[in-house]
A and B are shown apart, each in its own frame.
Chain A
Amino acid sequence: MVILKLAYRNLKGAGIRTWLNVFVLSLAFLSIIYLKGLYNGMQDQSIRISEDTDMGSGQYWCAIYDPYDPLSLPDAHETIPEVFNPLISSGVITPVMFYQGAIYPDNRLKNIILRGVDPNQQVMNIPTSELRVESNEYLPIMLGHRMAKSINVKAGDIFTLQWRDGNGAYDARDARVVAVMTTTNSTIDIGNVWVDLALLQDITRLENEATLLIIDKSYSGELPESEWEYHSLFALTKDIRDMVEMKSIGGSIMYGVLMALALLAVFDTQVLSIWRRRREMGTLMALGMTRMTLIKLFTLEGGMHGFFAVVLATIYGAPLLYLNSVKGLTMPMDVDNFGMVLPQTLFPEYSVGLILGTIIIVLITVTITSFIPVRKLAKLKPTDALRGKMS
Chain B
Amino acid sequence: MIKFLLLGILRDRSRSLFPILTVFIGAALTVVMTGYIGGILPDMIRLSSHMDAGHVKLMSQSFYENRHQMPLDLAMDNAADLIETLEAQFPDMMWKARTRFGGLLDIPDENGETRAQTTISALAADLISPNSTELDYLNLTESIVAGGLPKDPFDILIAKSMAESYDISVGDQVTLMTSTVNGSMSFQNFNVSGMVVFGIAALDKGGAIITDIEGARMALDMDGGSTEILGFFKDDEYTSERALVVTDWVNNNLKDVNDPYSPIALRLEDSNEMAGMLQFAGSFIFIISTVFILIMFIVLWNSGLMNGLRRYGEMGLRLAVGEQKGHIYRSMLIESAIIGVIGTIFGTALGLVGVWFLQEYGINLGDMASNTGDGIYYPNVIRGKIIPACFYAGFIPGLIAPLLGSLVSGRGIYKRQTASLFKELET
Contacts and interface: CB of A to CB of B under 8 A. Distances in A.
A and B: direct contact (Cβ < 8 Å)?
yes
Interface of A: 16-17, 20-21, 23-24, 27-28, 31, 68-71, 105-106, 108, 110, 150, 239, 242-243, 246-247, 249-250, 253-254, 257-258, 260-262, 264-265, 268-269, 271-272, 275-276, 279, 331-334, 336-340, 388
A20 B297 CA distance: 10
A85 to B, nearest CB: 33
Contacts of A334: 273, 276
B22 A264 contact: yes
A70 B205 CA distance: 11
A264 B273 CA distance: 41
B427 A276 contact: yes
Interface stretch (B167-175, B224-232, B298-306, B323-331): B298-306
B182 to A, nearest CB: 14
A110 B301 CA distance: 64
B205 A276 contact: no
B359 interface: no
The interface size bin for chain B is 35 or more
B372 interface: yes
A20 B305 CA distance: 10
A223 B427 CA distance: 77
Contacts of A150: 68-69
Given A106-B69, A339-B374, 8 more contacts: A24-B299, A27-B295, A71-B119, A246-B366, A261-B26, A268-B302, A333-B279, A338-B374
B333 interface: no
Contact of A337 (B18, B25, B376): B376
Interface of B: 18, 22, 25-26, 29, 32-33, 36, 66, 68-69, 71, 117-119, 200-202, 205-207, 272-277, 279-280, 288, 291-292, 294-296, 298-299, 301-303, 305-306, 309-310, 363, 365-366, 368, 370-376, 378, 380, 382, 408, 426-427
Given A246-B370, A247-B370, A268 B299 contact: yes
Contact of A269 (B202, B205, B207, B306): B306
Nearest to A243: B370
B372 A69 contact: no
B66 A106 contact: yes
Contacts of B119: 69-71
B26 A264 contact: yes
Q: Which of B32, B69, B375, B426 counts the most A-chain CB atoms under 10 A from its CB?
A: B69
25 contacts: A17-B302, A20-B299, A20-B305, A21-B302, A24-B298, A24-B302, A27-B291, A31-B291, A68-B207, A70-B119, A246-B366, A246-B370, A247-B378, A250-B382, A261-B295, A268-B22, A268-B303, A272-B18, A272-B310, A276-B427, A333-B273, A333-B279, A337-B273, A338-B374, A339-B371
Contact of B36 (A21, A243, A253, A336): A253
Contact of B302 (A20, A105, A336): A20
Q: Which 10 A-B pairs have the closest CB atoms?
A: A339-B373, A333-B276, A337-B374, A265-B299, A338-B372, A68-B205, A20-B302, A332-B276, A150-B68, A333-B273
